[in-house]
Amino acid sequence: MESRHLIAAPRPSCFFEDDSTVSVLRRSAAEGVGTFLLMISVVGSGLQKGSSPLSSSIAISGSLIALILAFGAVSGGHFNPTITLVQWSRNQRRLDCTVGYVTAQILGSVAGGLVAGLMFDLTPGRPTCEPPTLSSLASEGIATFGLMTIVFCSTKSTSKFVGPFAVGLWLMGAIVSTPTGSIANPAVAIGLLATPGSASVLAVLTFIMIQIASGSLAAQITSVFYPDPRRL
């Protein structure tokens, strides 16, 4: 039954949709459009003349806050496969919903990368196979762990409006303070392969593994801070 797409989500809660009976197609479409717009902000803020890490952080974090507020009631406002996959692994989301979300997020990110390049009259760069550096792996691990800790702790808040601003504020700081600019999102990492820059396929694949592992660790840490009262 569609109403069982969410099994253990509190109400109301950040990063969970208001009505789980809404069709998976509609909710997945919201995730796709949201990720598409987020990716345009990510790529466009970097291609803009005179851009800096600070200006990019303001543009990206502001866009993400707005998108979560706009689409959160429909889909939960993930725009990030790590959130979706961790919810599924914790029996908070069904498999068909998870597949729909992750597929839409990846397609939206790739489309956003292509459209952002088109806006700046630039063609996609040629992907490389350069291995990632140790510093970039550490950067993505820390950036994702911090972001996912904020996400999962925010789901425990009594107000569903805490999450968008908490995530945006963390992201603003992480973009400026991490070498990789806090990608922290498997869909965005994949979408970078369709952008004017020369992204490394090997680095993207490694980042995705680091991001998902860091997200899973963040979920475990959150369960320590906010234990399920039914298990005490």
> Each residue of 49-89: pLDDT tens digit?
889 999 999 999 999 999 999 999 999 999 999 999 999 99
Q: Are 92 and 10 in contact (CB under 8 A)?
A: no
Helix residue spans in 10-161 (DSSP H): 24-47, 53-75, 81-89, 95-119, 134-154
So what's the pLDDT on residue 50?
A: 87
The pLDDT of 170-177, averaged and rounded, is 97
Q: Which domains does the chain have, with CATH numbers?
A: 13-231 (1.20.1080.10)
pLDDT at 7: 47
CA-wise closest residue to 149 among 220, 213, 98: 220
pLDDT of 10 above 60: no
